[in-house]
Amino acid sequence: MNKRLMIGLSVVFCLAAAVLIYLGSRGPDATATTVMQEPSQAFLGVGPREITIRNVTKKPVHYKLRAYGSEGGGDERVLLPDEIDRYPAPQTVIISYLKHGVEVTYSLFPGKPYSFRYDSAGNTDIWVGAHGREDAVDLAPYVPTPSEVVAEMCRLGEVSKDSIVYDIGCGDGRIVIYAAKTYGARGVGIDIEPERIRESRANAKEAGVEKLVRFELADATRVDISEATVVTMYLLPESNELLRPKLEKELRPGVFVVTHNYMIPGWEEKEVTSAVVRDPEGKEHTVFLYRR
């Protein structure tokens, strides 16, 4: 083969290889981008080739995972309360665990979030999403803010009797109830869990502030929060990010947004200050204050 032909063939080969590499790199990633843009998956940051399992019970959960069609017992795993297991899932994954002492087996599908939570009888079971719903964004599991941190959040947010405090994902209502009881502020708590809303209403009654506060059973991402003068959030960082456009669209300039432990990605320039609070167990919590 002469030298010219050799160079010609090498150029053709290199071009063909480049085209193949380009096409190969587009396939899965192009799909991945599309899948990740769906809100029901974006909130948990679940990749299209993994599953996540969150433990929202109060006890460690033992289970086994294996790829669909594989032999053997699978990977033995223990998930502590509030932890998330991210498991590679290029294909369906089979989970097995003990339910009422009997081994049960289910299929889990790539790109979906799951959680261990209690069913209505108080038994641990696996659900799609962290609150067992696929139609609503999962902002965070229920973890109450310690009272010292609640007080600091209200202090930093300059809560007064003129404030209207909105707590997004209000849990047992403690933040708006504290704001009402301590400062005479009005408040709205929104939560997706019926049990949380029942607790919040009962707690407001017990605290004697039921005329100042109201609790809504709803997906907070769909509730109008434009009347708020202070917004509080104890949510996952990806949820803060998800809510940022809503805060920007609905809140008036100057409104305070106070978050517990997690920053609002993209609002670095709006951060006014932050404070660290120790709870009675000595654990540190950070409170971030933003001004819309």
Ligand X SMILES: C[S@@+](CC[C@H](N)C(=O)[O-])C[C@H]1O[C@@H](n2cnc3c(N)ncnc32)[C@H](O)[C@@H]1O
Nearest partner of 61 among 106, 92, 95, 109, judged by Cα? 95
Identified binder of ligand X from the candidate list 140, 212, 277, 289, rule CB under 6 A:
140
Tokens standing for 76? 């033995």
Nearest partner of 232 among 177, 277, 161, 162, judged by Cα? 177
Give the number of other CB atoms < 10 A from CB of residue 277: 18
Q: Does 41 bind ligand X (CB under 6 A)?
A: no
Which long-range contacts link 69-75 to residues 24+ away (Cβ below 8 Å)? Answer: none
| Residue closer to ligand X, measured from CB, 77 or 244 | 244
Q: Does 169 bind ligand X (CB under 6 A)?
A: yes
| Residue closer to ligand X, measured from CB, 195 or 248 | 195
Tokens standing for 144? 């109450």
- Rounded Cα distance between 47 and 32, Å, is 7
Identified binder of ligand X from the candidate list 111, 113, 171, 187, rule CB under 6 A:
171
Q: Does 231 bind ligand X (CB under 6 A)?
A: no
| Residue closer to ligand X, measured from CB, 74 or 237 | 237
Q: Which DSSP letter does residue 68 get? A: T
Q: Does 125 bind ligand X (CB under 6 A)?
A: no
Q: Does 139 bind ligand X (CB under 6 A)?
A: yes
Give the number of other CB atoms < 10 A from CB of residue 48: 19
Residue nearest to ligand X (CB): 169
State the residues that interact with ligand X by CB under 6 A.
131, 136-140, 142-145, 167, 169-171, 174-175, 190-193, 196, 219-221, 234-235, 260
